Amino acid sequence: MAQGLFFETVHDGSYSYRRLNRAAISDLRSAPAAGGDEEVAHALIDLLIDDLPEDPQDDGLMDNSETGAVIRCLKTALRRLGIEFEAYAASERGLRDGNRLGRRRAA
Question: Residue 62 — pLDDT band, cuts 50, 70, 90?
Answer: confident
pLDDT at 18: 86
pLDDT at 11: 92
pTM score, whole prediction: 0.74
Cross-strand pairs, 16: 11
Say whether 98 sits in a helix, a strand or coil.
coil
Instruction: Give the Cα separation of 106 and 30 in Å (integer).
Output: 35
Instruction: Select from 96, 87, 7, 93 the least CA-distant residue to 47.
Output: 7
